[in-house]
A and B are shown apart, each in its own frame.
Chain A
């Protein structure tokens, strides 16, 4: 495609974004050992509590949501089909 060289499509841009993200995450994690945070909740004082909780929380969220799809996902026109059959039923009833 002619637009494939757009800024965010370039592999080097992506690599650059990801590397900055990793670097920022590493720095933020490191800051936990340098800055003394005040904490109220018993778990809050643990080193790396927020980063670990955020990461695990999101992974669990996505995996559970994916698993929910097994039970809850239907075709895009699921309810329209219902309406269609309901309409036919009413007409048949009349």
Chain B
């Protein structure tokens, strides 16, 4: 097609260069062309395309393509195309360059055949994405970006330590199944886990994503966590611990999501919840489990992107994102409202929407392998997703009580991007084979049987009934302007205080020691000065005769010592 075969990430990096030198008016459209060209390049690459090289005696494989990486490769192109269209009105060069490098790094990471290449793109993801947060140009965004960057870099360093130890043990850097068998693999597991937003490591996501620019969050939600899911699926399939970690991740964020006021932060918690489902699928490790996890990652990028886009449009038009300040926007932004509802129906896994065809794979895999309690937890999480993402997001933004805000409908490019995402949600929901045929393992799974459809619809409608009942009884917690403490409180409040206290202690000890030494020095100096001054021993005058007498005594003494 193009006549030449290029590594998938390279075209995006060239795109960043174009964004850097390009004029403001055609920079946006040019980036769309870049994404399309890159997609064509990937499509025409032969299935055995790869690069191999040597570095200081280590065999490296910077590019490796197989079914798993290829699916993520296409997914990232779809996500990049949607996000670039969504941010077409942006004239901010920083964001455009960062976004291109960021998407390119995600491609570099999923097509990395060796761990060293993975590490390089792993760190590039962190460094490039933080600019999408800083581009909001507020104090809060700056400090949230800083915390985000620190945690991401820590993840990279853990990965590097793991890789070095792994190389020492195995003498190979190829990235294939690792398994939790050694210290090295634990380091890598933890590094992947941080980017997968494991419990207690999840706050970089809920802290920073809602602080990014309206368009930046759409990019962010697509790449980092999905690269981590890919790495986990490749490195640690069938690690049972992931099932329990995943179940925890699916459940605890929904409680926070219910009481959170910032609607983009609600979506960030919901992202952690969806990652939980994927972790369970990978942890189960059967073909159905892995297929389910990968399919769900694919769908999640699109429907979560759609939800972030709709909330981004609200933020862009109204300047507000708190549930307590919004409401009644369906009058001003009816199209955005409908598109948001499509996203909400997809994440809630309504039959005919994309979430249904992938989430049910994971649920079936859990039941098949007799993870009964985990299955119950996932079922609870599914009901919870509908509650906080399916109902809460559209309800408090577009309906609920009228906030009185009247604004314009979202710009055409945002509507187009959301329209593409919504179409994909429906297309995959109605024709799941479109997705199933590209999954890592061949499958004849069918989500559409009577039992599945009936039980899922029952679950969702009775969740809706619970929402209505709680609202009518006045028991539903109102949206309140507030901050809810989560684990990040630990490193935002006690830890800085502890560090400050330690610093003060060190300062005080240091001051005491210095002043003590100074005073000893001073005293010594004074004594010496006293010896040399006026009547001091060293400044006394002595007669030559007594001097000679002392010399004789000294020599005599030496003579005596010599004899013994």
A89-B375 Cα distance, complex, nearest whole Å:
50
Known: A18-B468, A58-B467, A61-B254. A37 touches B459 (CB 8 A): no
Contact A52 B462 (CB under 8 A): yes
Would B450 and A57 count as touching, CB distance under 8 A? no
Contact A9 B455 (CB under 8 A): no
| Chain B residues positioned under 8 Å from A93 (CB to CB) | 503-504, 507
Output the least CB separation between B456 and chain A (Å): 8
Contact B485 A74, beta carbon cutoff 8 Å = yes
Q: Is B55 an interface residue (CB 8 A)?
A: no
Q: Which residues of B contact A82 (CB under 8 A)?
A: 492-493, 496
User: What CA separation (Å) do A29 and B459 show in the bound complex?
Assistant: 10
Name B417-465 residues within 8 Å CB distance of A.
450-451, 454-465
Please tell me the size bucket of the interface on B.
35 or more
Select one of A6, A37, A68, A80 contacting B259, CB under 8 A. Answer: A68
Interface residue B330 (Cβ < 8 Å from any Cβ of A): yes
Q: Does A41 contact B (CB under 8 A)?
A: yes
Q: A10 to B220, alpha carbons, bound, how many Å?
A: 39
B380 to A69, Cβ gap below 8 A? no
- Check if B116 is an interface residue, CB within 8 A of chain A: no
**CB pair B484 A69 closer than 8 Å:** yes
- Distance, CA A23 to CA B299, complexed state (A): 31
Q: Count the A residues whose beta carbon is within 8 Å of the partner chain — how many?
A: 57
- Alpha-carbon gap, A3 to B468, bound state (A): 24
Q: Which residues from chain B contact A37 at a C-beta distance below 8 Å?
A: 450-451, 454-455
Which of A39, A64, A76 has the most chain B CB atoms closer than 10 A to its own CB? A76
- Report the bound CA distance from A83 to B456 in whole Å: 46
Taking a contact as CB atoms under 8 Å apart, the answer to whether A62 and B387 are in contact is yes
Q: Is B368 an interface residue (CB 8 A)?
A: yes
- For the complex, what is the distance from the CA of A79 to the CA of B339, rounded to whole Å? 34
The answer to whether A38 and B451 have CB atoms under 8 Å apart is yes
**Which secondary structure characterizes the binding site on chain A?**
helix
- B492 contacts A54, CB within 8 Å? no
Tell whether, in the assembled complex, residue A83 and residue B455 are in contact, meaning their CB atoms are under 8 Å apart. Answer: no
Binary flags per residue of A1-14, CB closer than 8 Å to B gives 1, else 0: 10110101100000
Chain B residue with Cβ nearest A76: B481
Binds A, one of B92-100, B283-291, B349-357, B472-480: B472-480
Q: Which of B451, B461, B476, B503 contacts A62 (CB 8 A)?
A: B476
Within 66-80 of A, Cβ neighbours of B (below 8 Å) are at: 66, 68-69, 71-80
Q: Do the beta carbons of B455 and A75 come within 8 Å of each other?
A: no
Decide yes or no: A54 and B462 within 8 Å by CB, A3-B402, A28-B454, A79-B483 being known contacts: yes
Is A16 part of the contact surface with B, judged by Cβ < 8 Å? no
The answer to whether A54 touches B485 (Cβ under 8 A) is no
Q: A59 contacts which chain B residues (CB < 8 A)?
A: 466, 469-470
5 A-B pairs with the lowest CB-CB distances in the bound complex, closest first: A58-B466, A65-B258, A54-B462, A54-B459, A50-B458
Question: Chain B residues in contact with chain A, CB under 8 A?
Answer: 139-140, 143, 254-256, 258-259, 261, 328, 330-331, 367-368, 372, 375-376, 379-380, 383-384, 387, 399, 402, 404, 450-451, 454-470, 475-477, 480-486, 492-493, 496, 500, 503-504, 507
Q: List 11 A-B contacts (CB under 8 A).
A: A28-B462, A29-B458, A41-B367, A56-B466, A59-B469, A66-B475, A73-B480, A73-B484, A73-B485, A82-B496, A89-B500
